[in-house]
Each structure stands twice: as C-alpha cells, then as structure tokens.
Amino acid sequence: MVKILEAAAPGGGPSLALHGGAGGQVAEVALAGPSPYADGLVAAYRAGWRVLAAGGDALEAVCASVEVLEDDPLFNAGCGAALTATGHAELDASVMTGSGLAGAVAAAKYTRNPVRLARAVMEQTEHVLIVDPDVEFVKRCGLEVVERDYFITGPRRQQLDRVLSGRGAAARHGTVGAVARDSGGRVAAATSTGGMTGQADGRVGDTPIVGAGVYARDDVVAISCTGHGEAFIRGVVAYDVAARIRYAGAGLAEAVRATFDEELARHGSTGGLVAVGSDGSVVVAHNSPAMFSARGTGPEPALTT
C-alpha cells in the first residue's frame, strides 16, 4: 500500500522536498540510529531553503540540497555510494527544469558531485545524457575531480560482502533527490545515486533517465524518484504522474497514488518519490517499508526517517 504525506501550498511562496532513499536504513551504516540520517536530511533541506529564501531559482535549490546528501556518507550517492559487484562506485545523476531542459550522467567515476556534472551537461553541452564521462570532461566542466576510492567507505564494502555472500539483500538500493518550486513559480528536480549494491558494472537504473527517475514541467509538477530502478524505467513513473496531472486533470496526490498502484504495486515493485505541484503543494509517497524525506514551505522541514 502506498503511503502519502502532503504539505499545504504556501500561498504562492516556495516549496522544497527531498528524499534520501526508499527501503530504510542499511545495517552497516545505521549503527548510530536514525539521528545522523535526520541531521543529514535537515542539513540538505536548509541548504536548498537558503537558496529559495534568498530569491534563488528552483534548479539551484535542488542542486544545493542534493550536493549535501552526496557529501554525506550515510546516503547512497557520492561519497558512501553503493558498490558494484567488483567493488567500484558508478554514479548516476540528473537534473531537469520546468522549462524542459535536462542533463544527466551515468556511470560517472571521477567527479565529487555528480549532480553538478549533470547540470553541466545541461548547461554546457548540446546533450542530455553522457555515459562514463572521463576526467578531462569533468575538468572542462570546471568541476572537482576525485580519485575513485573517494566514494568507497568501509560500511559499503561490508554491505557488498554481505550481499555477494548471500547473507542478505534487503535495502540494497537507495537514491537521493530533491524537488522545488521557487517564488517565481518555476519548478525543478534533481536525482543522484550509486545504484544497487552488487549490481553489474555498467548497469544504469532510472536516476539518469528523464521521465523515469526525474521529471519537471512548469505549471504541472516536478518529481524525483527512488526505488527499484528497473520498475521505474518500465513504468516511466515520473512522467506517468505528470501526464495524469497534465492531461487527465488529476490532483497531485491522486496522480501519485494511481501511478504507484498501476506501475509499481501491480508488478510487485517498491520505491518512493517526492513531488511539488505548480501551486507549491508537496507530496512524499512510498510503498516501501520506509523512506527518508524532508519537506516544507518554510525554513524548518517535516521529516520522515
């Protein structure tokens, strides 16, 4: 069953929501309990809210929030990302504005903040998706280059060992993302992930796929997804929600519930999303056991951990 949390529209002001992954805590990185996750979510929310409160645009706000989560080793993005079957980190990220611009990277290995590289693809190239961008590409984009072991943490190595040994596969995935509506009514979305623990090298999930893991359109909605990536690709989940709103006139929560029922639950798949409507209304939804999220229309968020 899908669980839906809503926040009221702020009367024309900005809104922000972010997620830190569906499925709950990973045993190897949860020894300190939920507090560090909550702290990370609050820090990410505040980073995005500072942008919005200063009159900044939705794109910069979602990138600011996601960058904080990429730098936090508790979350499956950037430093602390899940590892492939051969013990490497291959990072995916995407951004999309409500005006229809989008940028994404898949299997990125050398940039500290993949969300910034996805934005650079959108703003500095004529392309939408770049796969396996090399060091020179990262440098040309003016972004920080790191060694591949920067992303690898001890707890993620332990998680990979557990998964490969068959001692457990729960909470293998996870993704971070954010959506925002700014004071000018523009919306944007960003998503970033390390994928699934133990995935094949070169596997790409929904995160960098426009319409699956991310989607934004002014006067409609902005969406960032997390969960079983293959199911989100097959169901084109982010776009399916947007289409229900745009063409069928569904409300935001109604559209989200219908998409989960028809594209995820019907196929036995789990995950979640955060969405912000054109009026600033916010929905956080998941049919997984849990999902980390923060949402609000002011400087302090409501949290789920």
pLDDT at 174: 80
Please state whether 262 falls in left (phi above 0), alpha (psi between -120 and 50) or beta. alpha
Are the CB atoms for 206 and 234 separated by under 8 Å? Answer: no
H/E stretch holding 107: strand 102-108
pLDDT at 92: 98
pLDDT at 104: 99
Q: How does DSSP assign 125-140, residue by residue?
A: SS-SEEES--HHHHHH
Q: Which residues contact 182 (CB under 8 A, 6 or more apart)?
A: 14, 52, 55, 56, 57, 58, 61
Angstrom distance (rounded) from CA 137 to CA 70: 20
Three-state DSSP state, 170: coil
Are the CB atoms for 150 and 128 separated by under 8 Å? Answer: no
Which residues are identified as catalytic? 175
Q: Which residue has the tokens 């934005």?
A: 119
pLDDT at 10: 66
**Mean pLDDT of successive 10-residue segments in the chain (305 residues)?**
82 92 66 78 98 98 98 97 97 98 98 98 98 98 97 95 78 84 97 96 97 98 96 97 98 97 92 96 94 95 91
| Helices marked H in 54-106 | 58-70
pLDDT at 28: 57
Domains of the chain in sequence order: 3-298 (3.60.20.30)
pLDDT at 208: 98
Angstrom distance (rounded) from CA 181 to CA 226: 20
7-24 burial, b for 16+ CB within 10 Å, e for fewer?
bebbeeebbbbbbbbbbb
H/E stretch holding 20: strand 15-22
pLDDT at 167: 72
pLDDT at 109: 98
